[in-house]
């Protein structure tokens, strides 16, 4: 800040305010920028197509179970299941899960096999705000299915 004001002694109040005001804005702006380095529905979709090698996506078969309203975004129970047999010739290979509104779209990927027996996995995830959680399943024949679910994440309150 001191650098921008060349003659500190002769600076009048208005220009000082102006200078500091700009400084404050710049600082706030940089803070905002780092915060907006965030996933969006677009970046999440891009991430998913990277993970699934750009294969054509069909809707359905994938069920993402999440609470409608998460009690706390830091620990949200999630169950992902795929309507598919798990036989040696026909099974779910991978399930990729991404979040559309977290700082980073990646959440978790599950690698399954015929030995898994049932295409259902439960875990707990972090969600920064209300958003969609999208899961894509890659089947053994290469087809890709997608399912999604919106979760409302409440923030704040008085829970010391």
Question: Applying CB under 8 A, which part among 8-16, 25-33, 52-60, 76-84 lies near other proteins?
Answer: 76-84
**Residue carrying structure tokens 């779209």:** 105
| Shortest separation between residue 9's beta carbon and other proteins, angstroms | 32
Q: Would you count residue 74 as binding other proteins (CB under 8 A)?
A: yes
Question: Applying CB under 8 A, which part among 8-16, 18-26, 55-63, 116-124 lies near other proteins?
Answer: 116-124
d(CA 103, CA 106): 9
Dihedral sign of CA atoms 44, 50, 55, 60 in order:
negative
CB contact at 8 A, 143 and 58 = yes
Other C-beta atoms lying within 10 Å of the C-beta of residue 147:
21
Chosen residue from 43, 106, 130, 132 binding other proteins by CB under 8 A: 106
For residue 22, what are the contacts with CB-CB under 8 A and spacing of at least 6?
Answer: none
Q: Would you count residue 118 as binding other proteins (CB under 8 A)?
A: yes
DSSP letters, 97-110, are EEESSSSSSEEEEE
Q: Would you count residue 102 as binding other proteins (CB under 8 A)?
A: yes
Q: Would you count residue 99 as binding other proteins (CB under 8 A)?
A: yes
Residues lying near other proteins in the complex (CB under 8 A) are found at 67, 69, 71-72, 74-77, 79, 86, 99, 102-104, 106-118, 120-127, 154-160
């Amino acid at each position: 800040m001191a650098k921008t004001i060349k003659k500190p002694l002769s600076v009048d109040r208005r220009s000082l305010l102006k200078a500091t005001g700009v400084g404050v804005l710049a600082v706030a702006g940089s803070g905002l920028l780092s915060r907006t380095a965030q996933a969006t529905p677009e970046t999440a979709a891009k991430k998913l197509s990277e993970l699934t090698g750009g294969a054509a996506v069909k809707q359905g078969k994938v069920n993402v179970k999440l609470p409608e309203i998460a009690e706390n975004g830091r620990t949200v129970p999630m169950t992902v299941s795929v309507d598919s047999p798990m036989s040696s010739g026909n099974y779910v290979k991978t399930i990729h899960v991404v979040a559309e509104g977290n700082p980073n779209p990646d959440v978790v990927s599950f690698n399954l096999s015929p030995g898994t027996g049932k295409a259902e996995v439960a875990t707990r995830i972090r969600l920064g705000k209300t958003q969609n959680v999208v899961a894509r399943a890659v089947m053994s024949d290469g087809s890709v299915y997608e399912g999604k679910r919106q979760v409302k994440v409440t923030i704040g309150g008085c829970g010391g």
